[in-house]
Structure 1
Amino acid sequence: MVTTLVIIMAVLLLLGFPIMIPLMLAPLVLIIVYFPYTEPFFLVQQMLNGISTFSLMAVPMFIFAADIMTRGRTSKRLLDFIGSFVAHIRGGYAVTTAVSCALFGSISGSTQATVVAIGRPMRERLLKVGYKDSSAIAFIINSSDIALLIPPSIGFIIYALPSQTSVGDLFIAGIGPGLLILLFFTIYAYIHARMFNIPLAEKATWRERFYHTRQAALPLMFPVIIIGGIYSGFFTATEASGMAVLYALILEVLVYRSVKVTDIPKIALSTGLVTSAVFVLVAGGQAFAYAISTAQIPRMIIDNLLGGDPGPIYVMIIVSLFFFIGCMFMDPIVVILILTPIFMPAAEAAGIDPIHLGVLIVFQAAMGSATPPFGVDIFTASAVFNRSYLDTIRGTPPFIIMLFIVNILLIFFPQISLFLL
């Protein structure tokens, strides 16, 4: 059964079908061939159930808020604010890139949106102060990883569906690992700047800093509202998504007036297109999970890989490897939906906290999305910056090493993600 499933998906992907086709067709064939007494209509029910979860409503809302902010002035104000304080230090513009990606991640929850919003203006600044283009692009791509860990992460919302865990708890748990990545990248930015003798930027005056702080004050309230509201229990993660849209509209339409009311339908259409793709993947992932569960494929894999009584460290290493490799080749949403039901029982049996497991899994999604050969952020950056594939990935090895170190720390020190809960 496993062989049949793999062959069908591989053939369809090689023929050029989009991922949602093999994701839905492969389980349908599996049910018809091996379980003829099971009605195929059950797959349709599973697909509908997969996209009927209340917490999934947060996805289009956060995407809509991010689209509004991206069209407006938020990213530039954040860059100017951070740069006024750190751009003059050694590696300051690279640090500005990492911090700006973290802050914009608290708005978008998407690595690709962060590459687009922060990457375009930041690449010009990095090149201007003496960075090689490959280094500048590598800083942008890998700093965007932080966006998938800092709330409101879409990756955590997707993981919460098959794992039945709290989205709010996942959001809070992602803060520690996100800040740890930021610390590693900041140290590397300083070392890199000294090694390659990157010139120092001009130091901003306190008057300029005050001006940029005032300009960025309202965008900086965005993570305060989202994280503070969830952490205090004032509203749920799904309700926070509605607040995000409201705040984005007030900020960009009424206060800055950088987005016109007539632009809202176009932005909403763009959000709808992205959301529909996400929901189709979620529905297909639910059907796939139902089919492999019926075929008891998770049990076979667990018995072969995690037979006996494996300890939590071993289980987390296996989970990390499978999810990382999967996210290197496929959309992270698909990987999370397919593999989570497979490894969840083994993780629970090993005593791994499901929230920490979620952080570890989404961390692999962040790593994989920026890692060759097929990380989605690599192709996003290649298109946005109009650079070749090889130029885009040339500067990534040091970041992959740092992310692997962080991954090891997460495996051996779960409190990095759980200390705020």
Structure 2
Amino acid sequence: MVALLMSIMIFFLLLNFPMFITMIIAPLAVLIRYFPNINPLLAIQQIVAGIQAYVLLAVPMFIFAADIMCAGQTSKRLLDFVETFVGHIHGGMAITTAATCTLFGAISGSTQATVVAIGKPMRNRLLDSGYRDEDTIALIISSAIIALLIPPSISMIMYCVVTGASVGDLFIAGVIPGLLMLLFFAVYNYFDAKRKGIPRTKKLTWGERVKAVKDAIAPLGFPVIIFAGIYSGFFSPTEAAAIAVLYAAILELLLFKTIKLKDLANIALSTAIVTSAVFILVAAGQLFSWAISYAKIPQLLTTALLGVNPSVIKILAMVTIFFFVGCMFVDSIVVIIILTPIFYPLAVKAGIHPIHLGIIVTLQAAIGSISPPFGCNIFTACAVFDRPFLKVIKKLPAYLIMLVMISVLIIVFPQLSLALI
């Protein structure tokens, strides 16, 4: 069964079929071949059921909120705010980039949106401050992946749809790992800038800082509202997404006046296109997950790979490797939909907390998005900055090493992901 499933998937991918077609045909072929008496209508029911989860309503709304802010002034105000406080220290502009990506990630939940919103204005500032282009691009795309760990996160929502875990708990659990990534990047860039002798910017006065704080108060309300609301139980993650859209519209339409009401139609269209692609994958993934579970393929694979009674460390190490490698080649949403049903039952049986597993899965999705050959952030940077592939990936190894170290820390110390829930 496993050989047939993999052969069909590889065959259709080599023929350049869309991923959702591959995810539908491969499991259907397994069911028809090995379970001919099964009712075909069940497959249709599973496809429809895949997009019926209430929590999926949060996906288009978070994307819509991010698109509104990308078209407005939110990212610039956040950049100015962070730069006034840390821009003058060694590596200050690089630290500003990483910190602003973290703040914007707490608004958008999308790495690509963060690359565009923060990367485009910040790249010129970094180059003007004496940073080399390859260092700048590597910093931007690496810092952007913090958006997957800091709530809200679309990858976290996908994991919870597949497993039934609490979206609110997983959102909150991502805060410490996300801040840990920011700390690693900040320390690295501090010493790297000091070693390379990159000039520091002028230290701003407290008057200038107060002005920057005033300008940034409204954008900083996003993470405060989302995190505090979910943590306190005042509203659900889905309701938080709706509030994020309303808040973004109020800021950019009424307060900053950077977009007009008529612009919302084009922004909504862009959101609809992205959302449609995500939901098609989710629907196909539901059929895939149901089919392989019915055929007991996860049990076959995990037994073959891990043995009968694997240790917790062995399971988490295997999860890390498989998700990391998978996300190097395929979009993280696809990898989460395909691999999570395989490893999740075994991990829970071994006593691994579903939220801890979710953080590890999300972290690997983040790392995979900047890993050659097909990390999505790499190609986003190639398009946004008009730079060749090899130039974009040249300085990524240092960040990948740091991310591997963070993965090891979270595996060994589960409380890094469980302390806040």
Opposite residue 160 of structure 1, the aligned amino acid is C
Residue equivalent to 2:59? 59
Within a 5 Å distance, the mapping from 1:128-167 to structure 2 comes to 128-167=128-167
Within a 5 Å distance, the mapping from 1:21-420 to structure 2 comes to 21-420=21-420
TM-score where L is the length of structure 1? 0.99
Q: Give the root-mean-square deviation of aligned CA atoms.
A: 0.8
Q: What secondary structure does 1:234 align onto?
A: coil
- Please list the CA deviations of residues 212-259 of structure 1 after superposition, one character each: whole Å capped at 9, or x if unmatched: 111111000100000000001100111111111111111111111111
Opposite residue 136 of structure 2, the aligned amino acid is A
Opposite residue 373 of structure 1, the aligned amino acid is P
Q: Residue 31 of structure 1 contacts residue 40 of structure 1 at CA under 8 Å; is this kept in 2?
A: no
* 1:306 shift after superposition: 2.2
CA distance in 1, matches of 2:23, 2:258: 40
Q: Residue 73 of structure 1 contacts residue 252 of structure 1 at CA under 8 Å; is this kept in 2?
A: yes
* 1:207 shift after superposition: 1.5
- Please list the CA deviations of residues 350-387 of structure 1 after superposition, one character each: whole Å capped at 9, or x if unmatched: 10000110011000000000111110100001110000
CA distance in 2, matches of 1:118, 1:197: 24
TM-score where L is the length of structure 2? 0.99
Q: Residue 176 of structure 1 contacts residue 416 of structure 1 at CA under 8 Å; is this kept in 2?
A: yes
CA distance in 2, matches of 1:340, 1:411: 17
CA distance in 1, matches of 2:389, 2:11: 25
Q: Residue 84 of structure 1 contacts residue 204 of structure 1 at CA under 8 Å; is this kept in 2?
A: yes
* 1:5 shift after superposition: 1.3
Alignment size in residue pairs: 421
* 1:329 shift after superposition: 0.6
CA distance in 2, matches of 1:312, 1:234: 35
Task: Select between 341-350 and 30-39 the one with higher mean Cα deviation.
Answer: 30-39
Q: Residue 306 of structure 1 contacts residue 346 of structure 1 at CA under 8 Å; is this kept in 2?
A: no
Q: Residue 230 of structure 1 contacts residue 237 of structure 1 at CA under 8 Å; is this kept in 2?
A: yes
Task: Select between 90-99 and 33-42 the one with higher mean Cα deviation.
Answer: 33-42
> 4+ residue stretches of structure 1 with deviation over 6 A?
none
* 1:72 shift after superposition: 0.5
Q: Residue 111 of structure 1 contacts residue 148 of structure 1 at CA under 8 Å; is this kept in 2?
A: yes
CA distance in 1, matches of 2:396, 2:10: 28
* 1:159 shift after superposition: 0.2
Identical aligned pairs, as a percentage? Answer: 57
Opposite residue 403 of structure 1, the aligned amino acid is L
Opposite residue 401 of structure 2, the aligned amino acid is I
* 1:156 shift after superposition: 0.7
Opposite residue 240 of structure 2, the aligned amino acid is A
Opposite residue 132 of structure 1, the aligned amino acid is R
* 1:39 shift after superposition: 2.2
Structure 1's unaligned 5+ residue stretches are none
CA distance in 1, matches of 2:352, 2:294: 25
* 1:211 shift after superposition: 1.0
- Please list the CA deviations of residues 19-66 of structure 1 after superposition, one character each: whole Å capped at 9, or x if unmatched: 111111111222222221112221111111110000110000100111
CA distance in 2, matches of 1:409, 1:352: 16
* 1:117 shift after superposition: 0.6
CA distance in 2, matches of 1:165, 1:4: 31
Structure 2's unaligned 5+ residue stretches are none
